[in-house]
Structure 1
Amino acid sequence: MIVAFLNQKGGVGKTTLALNLAGEWARQGKRVTLIDADPQGSALDWSQQREHAGKPRLFGVIGLARDTLHREAPELARDADHVVIDGPPRVAALMRSALLAADLVLVPVQPSPFDGWASAEMLALISEARIYRPQLTARFVLNRCDARTMLARETAEALADHDPPVLAATIGQRIAFATAAQSGCLVSELNDDTPAAREIAALADAIDGLGIGRATR
């Protein structure tokens, strides 16, 4: 399965979610490759930091910030159980290529009046991709979310009947994510029995529960 984290808005946590999801699947014994399709290369930087710190490699990280991604990602998927794409903000050609590569698109949003609604452009790109890939599945993911706040509840309610719908698993606003990233770690490596680690495990379970197989291309 190829999973792409995409959102036209920057700073919504695509890289953090992509890295920790890839790490969770790797912990489960899955063969995972992460594609850094963001020209900023944050996932590649994390991987290099991890290597310099002498930490073991859990999954491969490859930089492919180019609009041939839809042709190259399926080739990488032949040798992996899961491919995770960390997508770019506001690069239309790369975004289209990532959409055409993916079996599942996850759109991270934060509980705010602005993030609660994906841009019309993002939704248009998903609709456009479905012309060529009608089997493409998409979900919103509530990230950096305190479920106890009214704003978070209002955001979840606003997305409840939306297309794409919201994924059942939500990710909280956790300092552990920033702490782990600074040291080239994943939250599960700091402590696998924290709210952050449990939320990532629940995210992986929710995605697995969608029952998406690898698409025939």
Structure 2
Amino acid sequence: MILTLASLKGGTGKTVLSLHLAHAIALAKRRVILIDADPQGSASNWAAARETASPFVVVGMARDTLHRDLPELLKNFEHCVIDTPPRVSALARSAILAADLVICPVQPSSFDVWAVGETVNLIQEAQQFKPEIKAAFCINRRISKTTIGREVVEALGDYPFPVLKTAISQRVAFAESSAGYTVMEIAASSAAADEIKALSKDVLKLLGMKSW
């Protein structure tokens, strides 16, 4: 499985979700690689900040030819997660073309909903060349019991992709995880960790794969 996190709007939480989904899948004893395709290198910096080995491999690979270069690299891995840059570029297009599933994180704000159309267009462009690419929205940084948190799902109904059942809430644990660890390591019994594990199962279900 190749899972690409894509959003052309900055600040949607792609890197945090990429790292956490990679870890959740790795916890099921799967061989996982995370490709840091963002020239800013946030995922690579996260791995470098760790005092212990990462539970999954992190490789910086910000190349416009990613969709052609990945097959050889992935021979030793079962699953791949790709973190992408927040702008339209040949690199973003290549990362989407490489995917089996593209997850588009959307924060519950009008600005995010307005901006998502550009990402949808890029995914649909890739589907013209590779029709089997699937796509879905993930509500990220949801604030519980707010009107906009409920309304964002309705607003995304205007687009052709489903919204994943599990939403990721705005939690302090995710901010604390930016120092080189995930919530599964620093708060394994927390609601944050439970949400990530549930999201990983949603992803596998969408791809018709068995969860653990």
Which category describes the TM-score, using the shorter chain as reference length?
Answer: over 0.9
Q: Which runs of 5+ in 1 are unaligned?
A: none
1:120 deviates by: 3.2
1:158 deviates by: 1.4
**Aligned residue for 1:198?**
194
Query: Residue 146 of structure 1: which of 143, 151, 157 is its match?
Result: 143
1:109-152: CA deviations, max 9, x gaps? 10000112444332221111011110100001100002421001
* Contact 1:141–1:170 under 8 Å retained in 2: yes
**Aligned residue for 2:156?**
159
State the distance in 2 between where 1:141 and 1:121 align: 16
* Residue correspondences, number: 209
What SS does the corresponding residue of 2:64 show, helix, strand or coil? coil
Consecutive aligned runs of 4 or more in structure 1 exceeding 4 Å deviation: none
* Contact 1:140–1:164 under 8 Å retained in 2: yes
State the distance in 2 between where 1:106 and 1:124 align: 14
What amino acid is aligned across from residue 46 of structure 2 in structure 1? W
What amino acid is aligned across from residue 139 of structure 2 in structure 1? L
State the distance in 1 between where 2:201 and 2:184 align: 15
TM-score by length of 1: 0.92
TM-score by length of 2: 0.94
* Percent of pairs with identical residues: 50
What SS does the corresponding residue of 1:78 show, helix, strand or coil? helix
State the distance in 1 between where 2:76 and 2:166 align: 28
Cα root mean square deviation, aligned = 1.3
**Aligned residue for 1:13?**
13
What amino acid is aligned across from residue 123 of structure 2 in structure 1? I
Query: Residue 126 of structure 1: which of 120, 123, 128 is its match?
Result: 123
Question: Bigger shift: 158-167 or 65-74?
Answer: 158-167
Q: Aligned runs of 1:22-171 on 2, under 5 Å?
A: 22-50=22-50, 53=51, 55-160=52-157, 162-171=159-168
